[in-house]
Amino acid sequence: MLIKHAADTRPSEITSPELYADRRRFLRLAGAGTAALALGGPTELLAAQARDLGPLVKSPFTVDEPLTPRKDVTRYNNFYEFGTDKGDPAINAHRMKTDPWTIKVEGLVGKPRTFDLDQIYKLAPLEERIYRLRCVEAWSMVIPWVGFPLSALLKAVEPLGSAKYVEFVSLFDPKVMDTRPVLDWPYKEGLRLDEAMHPLTLMAVGLYGEELPNQNGAPVRLVVPWKYGFKSAKSIVTIRLTDKQPNTSWNDAGPGEYGFYSNVNPDVDHPRWSQAKERRIGDFLKRKTLPFNGYADQVASMYAGMDLRKNF
C-alpha cells in the first residue's frame, strides 16, 4: 500500500516523550503479562497481544494538545453495559468477544450489507486522529484514535435519497454484560445523515496506535468529537439508515437532560450541572468548555438557523 507522507513533519506529529515512555512501559508490562495476569493484574494487558494496526495515515483533523495518558483513557470509562462505576469497564469488558464481529448496515440504503472485521478494516486507510473528548459529566480527555471516516462506510452502502438519519446499535450480550435496566438496552445512538457524513465523524478501531481495548468500545466504535461523549456509541453491531429521528438510549432515559443533538455547548447547562467548564483529566483547575468542543469552525454551519437551546 502506498502511504502518502506529508511534506514536512509538524511538531504535533512527533511522538511526545511521555507517549514514547508510556508505550515502552506498556510493552514492558505486556512482556510480563502472564505473570501479571496470574497475580490478577489489570485486564487491559489482554489487549496487549492485539494486532498492530500498521502504518497510519496522518490526518489533518488533529489537535495539538497534550494527550491524556493511556492508562487514564483505558481505565476511566463510561460503558454502562459493564458497570456504572468508571473503573468497572476496565475490569469487566474483557468478557466481551470482539472477534469474529460483524456490523449489519440496513434500512434506507441501496446496498444493505453485513461487514466482517476484515472488510471494515479495508474500507479506507486507517488514520491517526487526535481528538478532544468532552463527557456530558464535565470532564474531558485528548485521545489519539485510529480509524476511518464513517462516510467511507456509508458510501459503500449507497444511502437512498429518503435517508435522513443514522441509527447506531451497540452490542448487548446478557451473558457477559450487566443486565440491570439502567438504560433501555441495547444502547442506541443516532445522528443526522449530514452529521454522520461529516469528515470529522470517525469509526474508531484503535487508540494509541493499537487495537481498541474492549472497555473503549472494541472492535469498532463511533467518535463524534463535537458532541458529548455518550453520542459516540461503542461496540457497534447495527447501523440503520432511517427517515425519522431514531430513539436514543440517553434521550429516552432523560429527555430533558440528554438531547438528540447533544452538541457540546457551554451556554446550555445540563439541568443538574453547569456545562460552562470542564476538568481535563490530569488537570487540577477546570478550563472553559468551547462551543462544539472547539470544532465550531468545521461543524457550526450544519446548525445554522437552529435554536441550540431548544435542540440541545
Please tell me the distance from the alpha carbon of residue 124 to that of residue 192, in angstroms, as a whole number: 22
Binding track, positions 131-160, relative to another protein; x by CB under 8 A: ------x-x---------------------
Any alpha helices (H) in the chain, and if so which ranges? Answer: 17-31, 33-38, 70-75, 88-92, 117-121, 150-157, 193-197, 249-253, 296-299
* Residue from 90, 254, 77, 95 nearest 183 by CA: 254
**In angstroms, how far is the first alpha carbon of the chain from the final one?**
43
For residue 208, say whether it is annotated as part of any ligand binding site.
no
Near another protein by CB under 8 A: residue from 14, 35, 182, 306: 182
Strand positions, DSSP E, 225-310: 236-242, 277-280, 287-288
Do residues 194 and 303 make contact, with C-beta atoms less than 8 angstroms apart?
no
Residues 257-286 within binding reach of another protein (CB under 8 A): 269, 272-274, 277, 279, 281-282, 284-286
Residue 76 makes contact with another protein by CB under 8 A: yes
Determine the residue type at 209.
G
Residue 183 makes contact with another protein by CB under 8 A: yes
Q: Which is nearer to another protein, 77 or 238 (CB)?
A: 77
For residue 77, say whether it is annotated as part of any ligand binding site.
yes
For residue 221, say whether it is annotated as part of any ligand binding site.
yes
Output the furthest CA–CA distance in the chain (Å, rounded). Answer: 59
Piece in contact with another protein (CB under 8 A), picked from 65-73, 168-176, 291-299, 300-308: 65-73
CA distances from 48 to 14, 43, 73, 187 (A): 23, 10, 15, 27
Size, binding site for another protein by CB under 8 A: 28
Piece in contact with another protein (CB under 8 A), picked from 26-34, 54-62, 103-111, 246-254: 246-254
Side-chain-side CA neighbours of residue 251 (13 Å): 16
Burial 167-177 (b: 16+ CB within 10 A, else e): bbbbbeeeebb
Piece in contact with another protein (CB under 8 A), picked from 55-63, 149-157, 175-183, 215-223: 175-183
Residues 3-32 within binding reach of another protein (CB under 8 A): none
Binding site, annotated residues for Mo-molybdopterin: 77, 80-81, 135, 170, 216, 221, 232-234
User: Which residues are at the interface with another protein (CB under 8 A)?
Assistant: 68, 71-72, 75-76, 80, 84, 86-87, 137, 139, 180, 182-183, 250, 253-254, 269, 272-274, 277, 279, 281-282, 284-286
* Residues flagged as binding site: 77, 80-81, 135, 170, 216, 221, 232-234
